[in-house]
Structure 1
Amino acid sequence: MQLLEQRILKDGQVRPGNVLKVDCFLNHQLDITLLDEIGKAFYETYKNDGINKILTIEASGIAIACMTARHFGVPVVFAKKAKSKNIDGDVYTSTVHSFTYGKDYDITLSKKFLGPEDKVLIVDDFLAVGKAMHGLLDVCKQAGATVGGIGIAIEKGFQPGGETLRGQGYKLTSLAIVDYMDDEGNLRFRPQE
């Protein structure tokens, strides 16, 4: 998605350790117009796939999920990272390792919001190694839900997450794939197909 790539080049910051900071438009301060275009792009890709739920993980994926769901006209469900007294009843649980925070945590999702009748589009802001995505896929497996596709705003193509998921047969759409980053702030995108 050329619009997203241009915005990353204009306002993104490459930090040491393969960190791409896009907090001024994607995951702290939100550019709603850009997010709506991201949601529309996911809709155009998956509109004929019978999606009836959008699934993500808190917190950065929620805005993308909401804008995507707006185009599909379906609900958003998100896995929580923190234990909450607000979740009642049975839950699906999976352990995820966070690259950003350098720790493991359990994600939970109430069983009443995801089941075998659901065909989900999983969306998130970033895909690198794929630990969060594997946690969400595990939750879908526990629920008996079908994964209709995976939509990622920014994939770090030099890390194994995308290749692994594609190799497992998932329909994965990444709107911007960064193939190279260095500590001097340089980055290069994979050419659009």
Structure 2
Amino acid sequence: MDLLKRKITDEGVIVSDDVLKLDALLNHQVDPQLTMEMGKEFASLFREEGVTKVVTVESSGIAVAFATAYELGVPLVFARRKKTLLADADSLSERVPSFTKGIVTDIIISRQFLSKEDRVLFIDDIIANGDAARGLIKIVERSGASLVGVGVVVEKCFQNGASSIREQGIRLESLAKITSLANGKITFADERA
């Protein structure tokens, strides 16, 4: 997606050789037109998989996951990061570290929203080390649902998250692949450093 790459280049802030801040389009402010285009792209990539639910982890993945679910005409389920007073006592949860937040949290989905009949597509904003993705994949597996694939907006190829998911035999599709943030420059997989 050329538009996405342009937005990342224009609005992304390189914090370090490992961290790219995308607050202006994904993580704090959302670009609705770009988000809907990303949803259309993910829907076209996974349309033939018979998706019955789209899942994500709150909060940064919700907008793109919503756009994807909308395009596919299926419900969106998001894993919560905090238990509430109304939380289902029989929830599926997994403890996961967050690369960018530097903390460990629980991600939680109520069993009532995933069943063995579901064909699940997991959509997220960025994959770095893949801890949240692996945690959500475990939740989907424990629910008995089938995971048809993972879609991420930005894959940081220089970190092992996406490759570790693919090594499990899981289809992972990325809209933008970044190979380097070195020297204050964003390098995409289809460019030379």
Superposition map of 1:151-166 within 5 A: 151-166=151-166
The one-letter amino acid paired with 2:144 is G
Q: What does residue range 57-136 of structure 1 map to in structure 2 within 5 Å?
A: 57-136=57-136
1:191 is matched with which residue?
A: 190
Counterpart of 1:25 in structure 2: which amino acid?
L
* Alpha-carbon distance between aligned partners in 2 of 1:52 and 1:65, rounded to the nearest angstrom: 13
Number of residue pairs aligned between Structure 1 and Structure 2: 191
Aligned-pair Cα RMSD in Å = 1.1
Q: Which moved more, 1:95-104 or 1:83-92?
A: 83-92
Aligned AA (1:155): E
Aligned residue for 1:56?
Answer: 56
| 1:104 counterpart letter in structure 2 | V
| Equivalent residue number for residue 14 of structure 1 | 14
Contact 2:17/2:180 (8 A) holds in 1: no
Query: How many angstroms apart in 1 are the aligned matches of 2:42 and 2:166?
Result: 17
Shift of 1:17: 5.1
Secondary structure at the counterpart of residue 3 of structure 1: helix
Runs of 4+ displaced beyond 4 Å:
none
| Cα offset, 1:88, TM superposition | 2.6
- 1:60 aligns to what SS in structure 2? coil
Q: Equivalent residue for 2:140?
A: 140
Supply the AA of the counterpart residue of 1:55.
Answer: V
1:27 aligns with 2:27: yes
* Alpha-carbon distance between aligned partners in 2 of 1:67 and 1:93, rounded to the nearest angstrom: 25
Partner amino acid, structure 1, of 2:125: D
Alignment partners' CA distance in 2, 1:38 and 1:86:
32
Structure with the higher fraction of residues in helix conformation: 2
- Flag structure 1 segments of 5+ consecutive residues without an equivalent: none
Distance in 2, matches of 1:185 and 1:86, equals 45
Structure 2 segments unaligned to the other structure (5+ residues): none
Secondary structure at 1:25's aligned position in 2? helix
| TM-score for both structures, normalised by structure 1 | 0.96
2: distance between equivalents of 1:16 and 1:48?
39
The whole-number CA distance in structure 2 between the counterparts of 1:2 and 1:97 is 31
Length-normalised TM-score, structure 2: 0.96
Q: Share of identical aligned residues, percent? A: 41
Paired amino acid for 2:18: N
* 1:2 corresponding residue in structure 2: 2
Offset, 1:165:
1.1
